[in-house]
Amino acid sequence: MEALGIVTLLLTGFVIVYYAYMASHTDRDVSFFLSVSILSMFMNLCTNTAGFFAIAWLYLGIGVLFIGLGFAVGARETTAFYASIGPRLKSTFTDVKRIGWQTLSLVVFPAGIALYFVHYKKDFAHAKVCGRCALWGLLLWGLLLWTVLGLVL
């Protein structure tokens, strides 16, 4: 059941990213889906912390339902979202010059924040990439810490 809790966390995170993309690339109001997904993520983390994994099926159902409803909200935007994943990953992982800095900023987010301020005036694009990876790293470390402590304690 712990594995189901982890899978639903990942699925809910994907749904949040998906509806954040939909909110910025469509004129439709998807704030309901985005807010329910954020609440679902928080409640899923609390449920995993409490060790009550039976309700994880509800979070799995919400995630699958919201992904399916995304096609009803905007089929063209949904197709564009899935089509943009490949080129975005390709551009991220083929930029050999910055992949090390991105990885460092993601794994050690205080270093990424420091790199943002160091490169802010010289190379703003590099600083922006390091800062963005540092913020994602902070979020991922917080979620990972919450998940691990919830499963262990």
* pLDDT for position 134: 92
CB 71 within 8 A of CB 78: yes
From first to last of its 153 residues, the chain has per-residue pLDDT tens of: 777 878 888 888 899 989 988 888 888 888 898 899 888 888 888 887 777 777 888 888 888 999 888 888 888 888 888 888 888 778 777 777 788 888 889 899 899 999 899 988 898 888 998 898 999 899 889 888 877 777 666
> What are the angstrom distances between the C-alpha of 98 and each of 20, 126, 130, 138?
25, 8, 9, 19
| Rounded CA separation 129/119 (Å) | 10
| Rounded CA separation 57/5 (Å) | 9
The pTM of this model reads 0.69
* pLDDT for position 94: 78
Euclidean distance between the first and final Cα of the chain, in Å? 16
Conformation bin of residue 147: beta by default, left when phi > 0, alpha when psi is -120 to 50: alpha
